[in-house]
Chains A and B, each alone.
Chain A
Amino acid sequence: MESEPAAGFFVRAKEALARAGRAAARAQAAALLTLAYFLVIGPAALLARALGADPLSIRRAARTGWIARRAGPARETLTKAG
């Protein structure tokens, strides 16, 4: 260990650099996603509100919360991710 202090230093430096890189990437991702929230979701939300949309069925108008489901043929439905 003591014979290779320089190698140890480089390993540590490299690790620190990688850590810093990951932190920077995380911060950048957070910044981009926040931006997306206000620039992409925001306008859509304002538009939806202006049009009176209620995507989570929050307003209580219905007489039941049960919603009928339509189902396609099982075999075909299974192949789709949506």
Chain B
Amino acid sequence: MRILGLSFDYHDAAAALVVDGVPVAAAQEERFTRVKHDRRLPESAARWCLARANLDAGDLDAIVFYEKPFRKLTRILAGSIATFPRSAAMFRRAAGAWLDERLWVGPRIERALGVPPSKILFCEHHLSHAASAFFASPFDEAAVLVVDGVGEWATASLGRGRRAEGGGWELSLDAEQRYPHSLGLLYSAFTAYLGFEVNEGEYKVMGLAPYGRPRFADRVRAMLAPFGDGSFRLDLDWFAFHRDPARAFAARFEREFGPARAPGAGDPAEDARFCDVAASVQLVCEELVLAMARQAARRAGSKNLCLAGGVALNATANARLLREGGFERIWIQPAAGDAGGALGAALYAAHALGRPPRWEMTRADLGPEHSTAEAADALRRAGLAFEEMRGEDELCSRAAGLLAEGKTLGWHQGRSEWGPRALGQRSILADPRPAEMKRTLNEKIKFRELFRPFAPSAVEESFGELFDAGSPVPDAYRFMLAVAPVREAARARLGAAAHVDGSARAQLVERGRLPLYHRLISRFGDLTGTAAVLNTSFNLKGEPIVETPEDAIATFAASGLDALALGPLLVARRPSGKTEARRRPWAASETPSDGWAW
């Protein structure tokens, strides 16, 4: 059975193709259109998925949209009624978008892909998230927790997955907390207050938190009145996201916490107040995720947990869940945000309509790959001199040598990653030892805020010696979904990777799962005694991660990267002075992103 899952219209549009229960292709639309967080109907991604499997749209058994649009519309209407007369502007934008586009999801898919209405299915938002975790996990039975901003009505859901009596597997969500009482939207309100972009800057709040003390935690707890079982009621006096299209938090925020940080203002890490606010909301977020997970476990009676939804990308909360949650094993979908809904919707339909075998997601590289010939053409067109390595051994030796010399390397290999993290296929790599490498990477390439650390990738043989993540190393570390304390003895060797609190969002690299990346890091270890590298996504600030060799070359040219490896082709040095910055006019999102969930 061939099922295409689609997510779009909110942010991070994506397509995923599942054939007989196995995802054969999945990618975000932004990687093709180069519009960051592109939310339009993912035609390019969908067509690529079909081409990858040699299929036409007519060969599909079903196309599944990751939400129930009608249910979402009832929430928007109910919200408008509850907030009248303060929500006129919100209503104008929401109703405009719905009447113009969102109501017509079915006909739009039919027109774009040429399929009959009978083949179009709709999977609830949180069920899509839940399926993206459970049906990609190794578990026969597990508790399931979904936490995000909001889907149709649900903002958090508890459920379970297990073997069905008549064979196959069943997944159900048994309880939900509803809009506007949302942990994701609460976190986003603080993201906006701290001057970062909603649906994008949440990582920055998490990164800022370790600089502060959670001295406002009681005030944050007071604004959400927890019931003690993970659920809560937001006090809407503090918020505006439910009635204002341009503001997430109400005036009361500034009365209690002081003036908000202006977007783009100076280094927030130098202002203790902002750091303390970030630390406070992060702490409360962790407490709630823990309480919700315990509730999910209690209801499902399981020692395993599957986790998805945007909040599941909070690596610090995940680390606490791993340490304190009391679970035997936790599995988190790497594309836990809305893009992942495309994969989940397709997996859910595959298991609802048929009896496919279970599939465990052990690698994240479900995206497009590009041939060496394509890469060579692109390099020639760009006028870059390159050498072709004879086999992986030479490639890894040369690349490790460059890294050991302190060079920064663009590493473009194989199929691109599913989810927001670069995991060794579209990565910028560097030496993790010198602390100043963080500054070098930031100022020459990433152009991002200096307070944010870079993540290290370490091979399985040395992971335990560098990080205190427990043994066996939890699955979450494979996909960079949790932070771990850097061991005291290793601090000096990971000067650029350790955050101010001594933690790092480490990636576990196993020989059996990522052989090429494993070999590269091992070779670097042979040369330097530290079998770990800095790994940051291959993109410039504000741009999607590179997809094609052309994208990689454009980023190489526009940044201060020292070297570039496209498959076996190595550009070992920058041409002296003569590459002009052939930077594409990357578009920012064409329409402003819909911050508040309509």
Contact = CB atoms under 8 A, between A and B. Distances in A.
Contacts of B348: 74, 78
A45 B295 CA distance: 35
A58 interface: yes
B176 to A, nearest CB: 6
B227 A64 contact: yes
A81 B106 contact: yes
Nearest to B353: A75
Given A57-B181, A66-B229, A67-B177, A78 B121 contact: yes
B168 to A, nearest CB: 11
Contacts of B158: 66
Interface stretch (B46-54, B68-76, B538-546): B68-76
Interface string A1-29: 00000000000000000000000000001
Interface in A25-69: 29-30, 33-34, 36-38, 41-42, 44-46, 48, 54-58, 60, 62-69
B178 A82 contact: no
Contact of A81 (B84, B122, B242): B122
A56 B230 CA distance: 19
A30 B123 CA distance: 32
Nearest to A75: B352
A81 B70 contact: yes
A71 B173 contact: yes
B253 interface: no
Contacts, number: 122
The CB with the most chain B CB atoms within 10 A, among A29, A45, A56, A75, is that of A56
A58 B243 CA distance: 14
A29 B175 CA distance: 39
Interface residues of A, number: 36
A56 B83 CA distance: 9
Contact of B233 (A34, A60, A80): A60
B79 to A, nearest CB: 7
A58 B68 contact: no
A55 B153 CA distance: 11
B180 interface: yes
A41 B85 CA distance: 9
Interface stretch (B90-98, B273-281, B365-373, B436-444): B90-98
B500 interface: no
Contacts of B179: 56
B352 A65 contact: no
Contacts of A58: 82, 180, 233, 236
B251 interface: no
A54 B92 CA distance: 22
Contacts of B95: 33, 36-37
B174 A68 contact: yes
Contact of A37 (B80, B176, B181, B353): B80
Nearest to A46: B84
Contacts of B232: 65
A68 B157 CA distance: 10
Contact of B352 (A68, A69, A74): A74
A40 to B, nearest CB: 10
A48 B82 CA distance: 8
Contacts of B80: 37, 41, 45
Interface string B227-239: 1011111001000
A71 B160 CA distance: 13
A56 B158 CA distance: 20
Interface in B132-165: 157-158
A46 B229 CA distance: 34
Contact of A64 (B74, B79, B229): B229
A43 B349 CA distance: 41
Contacts of A68: 174-175
B79 A55 contact: yes
B174 A80 contact: no
B178 A45 contact: no
A55 B81 contact: yes
B352 A78 contact: yes
B587 interface: no
B166 to A, nearest CB: 13
A12 to B, nearest CB: 23
Contacts of B170: 74
B88 interface: yes
B68 A38 contact: no
Contacts of A41: 77, 80-81, 84, 91
A44 to B, nearest CB: 5
11 contacts: A33-B96, A36-B95, A37-B84, A38-B88, A41-B81, A45-B82, A45-B85, A56-B82, A57-B233, A75-B352, A82-B122
Given A37-B95, A78-B122, A81-B105, 11 more contacts: A29-B96, A36-B91, A37-B84, A45-B81, A56-B180, A57-B181, A69-B174, A69-B176, A81-B65, A82-B70, A82-B71
Interface of A: 29-30, 33-34, 36-38, 41-42, 44-46, 48, 54-58, 60, 62-69, 71, 74-75, 77-82
